[in-house]
Amino acid sequence: MNLVAIVGRPNVGKSTLFNRLIGNRQAIVDSTAGVTRDRHYGQCEWCGHEFSVVDTGGFTSGSDDVFESEIRKQVMIAIEECDLVLFMVEAATGITDFDQDIADILRRSKKPVVLAVNKVDTGERMYDTYQFYSLGLGDPMAIAAATGSGTGDLLDHVVELLPKETRDVEDPYEGLPRFTIVGKPNVGKSSLTNALLGEERNIVTPVAGTTRDAISSHYNKFGHEFMLVDTAGLRKKTKVTEDLEFYSVLRSIRAIEQSDVCILMVDATTGIEAQDMAVFNLIIRNKKGCVIVVNKWDLVPDKTTGTMKEFTEAIRERIAPLSDIPLVFTSATNKQRILDVLEAAEKVYANYSRRIPTSQLNEVMLPEIENYPPPAWKGKYIKIKYITQLPSPSPSFAFFCNLPQYIRDPYKRFLENKLRSHFDYSGCVLQIFLRQK
- Least confident window among 157-171, 270-284, 341-355, 402-416: 157-171
Q: How many other CB atoms are there within 10 angstroms of residue 15's CB atom?
A: 25
- The CA angle 291-297-300, to the nearest 5 degrees, is 140
Q: What's the mean pLDDT in 109-118?
A: 90
Q: Which residues pair with 113 in a beta bridge?
A: 85
pLDDT in tens, 181-235: 888 888 888 888 888 887 765 555 555 555 555 667 787 877 778 888 877 766 5
Read off the pLDDT of residues 46-94 as tens digits, 9 standing for 90 and up. Answer: 887 888 888 887 776 665 555 667 777 777 877 887 889 999 999 888 8
Q: How far is it, in rounded angstroms, from Cα 39 to Cα 86?
A: 14
Instruction: Report residue 170's pLDDT band, with 50, 70 and 90 as the boundaries.
Output: low
State yes or no: pLDDT of 409 exceeds 50: yes
365 — pLDDT class (breaks 50, 70, 90): very high
- pLDDT of 68: 66
Res 32: pLDDT: 56
Residue bearing the bigger pLDDT, 385 or 241: 385
For the ranges 218-227, 250-259, 323-332, 350-359, the lowest mean pLDDT is seen at 250-259
Residue 363 has pLDDT above 90, yes or no: yes
Residue 270: what residue type?
T
Classify each residue of 95-130 as buried b or exposed e, where b means 16 or more C-beta atoms within 10 Å of its C-beta: eeebbeebbebbeeeeebbbbbbbbbeeeeeeebbe
